[in-house]
Amino acid sequence: MVNVSLISPSIKVDLIIWTKNGAGTLDAVLKRINQVIPNEVVNNKFIVDDCSTDKTRYLAWSNGWSVRLNEGHGISDGANTALKYVETDYFCSFEQDVLLSPYWWNRVSRLILGKSKVAAASGLRFLPKNNLCFSIDPYQLTRQGVDDLSGYGKTLDNTIWHTNTLRNLGGFPKMKYAGIDTCLHELFKAEGFGWLVDFNVQSLHLHKGFVNELRHTYFYGLSLPELHSHDWQGLLLKFLKSPISSMKMCLRMRDARLLFAYPYIRLVWLLGYLKGDYP
């Protein structure tokens, strides 16, 4: 899977994952990372675990990864705990349920390695095709030139970082729920750094089932008040317009499941926002 001829022998990166009860997907995810990223460029590989009660730590050890304990709680603390242990100029972060594209390293590394004004680089990740929400993310790509995609694809879960740039800007923002990536994107932009995305590198987000997808969406909705990026009237309007929006999406993507799934997604976004903690 790896074109070794494209890799400078001087490049070394640390690989990190923050985990919590990830045994359902972690074994496949780690095996794929071990296949996609050449061993010659890997310095250390470790997970930062947040008190898992399943086989997460065992799976890390069995795949050649070491284990650190989260010094706090949640994603922000796990990410910053990991950042403390990074030894290399660049490092890669993944989430426990993202199965990397075979082309991830060869393509994403080209966007950042040796480029002083690029702080981060990522690919995309899509849901499995049998997920009712599968077409929502690919639909965004059809709107290039119509919508602002400046934040699209900028996530923590399949990303290469410039270590000192991130440290000098204070590390990963402290967030109670989600939204770390949104904050970093805005911070990088304000400080003149790029976060590049290869839209043609598409990894697999191993979310199973529609109910599970709604739980994830609700979790993201909880973060919105902290981000100051929405108001409840705007989210309510998007929910009320979602049947019309879902029809447009359905016709463009030829996926009738969106007629059912998208209004529910918009409703759960709104409910999460209303439940979230206001600063």
CATH code at position 165: 3.90.550.10
107 lies in the same domain as 13:
yes
Q: 268 near 218, Cβ under 8 Å?
A: yes
Rounded-to-integer distance, Cα 100 and Cα 126, Å: 11
Taking alpha carbons only, the member of 3, 27, 13, 6 closest to residue 103 is: 3
100 lies in the same domain as 155:
yes
62 lies in the same domain as 127:
yes
102 lies in the same domain as 223:
no
Quote the number of domains for the chain. 2
Rounded-to-integer distance, Cα 26 and Cα 96, Å: 5
The confidence score (pLDDT) of residue 233 equals 83
141 lies in the same domain as 243:
no
106 lies in the same domain as 244:
no
The share of the chain scoring above pLDDT 70, in percent, equals: 92
Which domain range does residue 133 map to?
4-205
Taking alpha carbons only, the member of 36, 45, 37, 39 closest to residue 15 is: 45
Q: Of 181, 205, 229, which one is at a domain's C-terminal end? A: 205
67 lies in the same domain as 194:
yes
Rounded-to-integer distance, Cα 84 and Cα 167, Å: 9
226 lies in the same domain as 187:
no
Rounded-to-integer distance, Cα 114 and Cα 7, Å: 12
The confidence score (pLDDT) of residue 63 equals 96
Which DSSP letter does residue 232 get?
H
Determine the length of the chain: 279
Q: Which tokens sit at 83?
A: 């950042």
Average pLDDT value for residue range 241-256: 96
Q: Of 205, 236, 263, which one is at a domain's C-terminal end? A: 205
**Could you tell me the end-to-end alpha-carbon distance of the chain, in angstroms, rounded to an integer?**
46
Residue 208: is its pLDDT beyond 60? yes
The confidence score (pLDDT) of residue 148 equals 56
Q: Of 149, 171, 205, which one is at a domain's C-terminal end? A: 205
Residue 137: is its pLDDT beyond 70? yes
252 lies in the same domain as 180:
no
The dihedral formed by the CA atoms of 268, 271, 272 and 273, expressed in degrees to the nearest 10:
120
Q: 246 near 263, Cβ under 8 Å?
A: yes
The confidence score (pLDDT) of residue 151 equals 79
Report the predicted TM-score, pTM, of the whole model to 2 decimal places: 0.90
121 lies in the same domain as 219:
no
17 lies in the same domain as 113:
yes
Confidence of residue 3 (pLDDT cuts 50, 70, 90): very low
What are the Cα distances from residue 159, in Å, to 72, 90, 106, 131?
Answer: 22, 10, 13, 24
168 lies in the same domain as 234:
no
